[in-house]
Amino acid sequence: MKKILITTDFSENAWNAIFTALKLYAKVDCHFYLLHAFEPSALNLMGSKSQQRLGAIYDSLSKYSKKEIKETLSYLENNHKNPNHQFTSLSKSGNLENAVETVINDNDIDILIMGTQGATGAKEVFLGSNTVKVLKTIKHTPILTVPTGYNFQRLDSIFFATDFTSPYKKSALEPILDLSILWKASIEIIHVAIEFNLNENQESHKYALKERLSEQDYKFTNIPFDFNISKSINQYTEQNNSGILGIIRHQHTFWEKIIGESVVNKIAFHSKIPVIFLPQ
């Protein structure tokens, strides 16, 4: 049975991530863990004049969290009639990344699914802070991010963005291979570069990747570098509403050093399709 953790703040965006997960894994035996983490905002903490006041804030947040997560669970149990799926609701105090890490370790979670809000400029700092913190903290579990307003219907193709600079562990590729088999989806390996001449190590890694994908429907595509990597990748994939983008988090470090681009963060914010960040 696949164990899937979904974070929620009870927003429309979070519900969209839940519904995407339920449809994506509709034919798979799954145990879904629904997590809400709560902590008082910095403003509330600054405004609290006593320990008693702080305690009251935590108590209020705890009651709200437990009430909302219970209602979420009740809705899914009453309206989502899939015998393959079961649910557990979790309400935890503290910051989201620590709560996620605890749940993953305690329950042997296979994949984490989160909703993301698209943003531009300075707004990314505020709208995406939780997502970024989780991506930085959770390094050994796949994370699937679902963009705001995305309407999942089917999965026809999986884009795997890579630069062939590191070897591909079988366990790291499993999440996209599983989805490819489940949905009979093709895999397109996309490589963004100024020049596409691979060195000996890259050629070796590319050959190993072919071996990993030998039983799948796959192809390789070169994408010319256009100002930045994330924009090049997103422009290529955004017209495919029935696709998912996969990326290994330790890759593209070369570009980050050369042009100062945070590839992972920007892809998470700006992709029009779900992104699965594979463990490093």
Mean pLDDT computed over 121-141 = 68
21 in a structural domain: yes
Helix spans in 83-199 (H): 96-107, 123-127, 129-137, 170-183
What pLDDT does residue 44 have? 52
Number of folded domains in the chain? 2
Examine residue 258 and state whether it is found in any structural domain, yes or no.
yes
Residue 136 lies in a domain: yes
The more confidently predicted of residues 156 and 61 is 156
Q: Which residue in 183, 189, 174, 191 sits closest to 242, CA to CA? A: 183
One domain, residues 143 and 175: no
CA-CA-CA-CA torsion sign (253, 258, 262, 268): negative
For the full predicted model, state whether its pTM sits above 0.85. Answer: yes
Q: Assess whether 123 and 51 both reside in one domain.
A: yes
According to the 3-state scheme, what is the secondary structure of 58-116?
A: HHHHHHHHHHHHHHHHHHHHHHCCCCCEEEEEEEEECCHHHHHHHHHHHHCCCEEEEEE
Give the structural domain span for 237.
157-278
Reported as a pLDDT band with limits 50, 70 and 90, residue 194 is: confident
Same domain, 25 and 124: yes
- Backbone φ, ψ for residue 243 (5° rounding): -125, 170
Question: At 239, which CATH number?
Answer: 3.40.50.620
Please determine, for residue 138, whether its predicted confidence score (pLDDT) is greater than 70.
yes
Residues 13 and 141 in one domain: yes
**Domain contains 152:** no
Residue-wise pLDDT tens digits, 82-117: 999 999 999 998 889 999 999 999 999 999 999 986
Pairing of strands 143-147, 275-278: antiparallel
252, pLDDT greater than 90? no
Is the domain of 229 the same as that of 251? Answer: yes
- Whether residues 134 and 172 share a domain: the answer is no
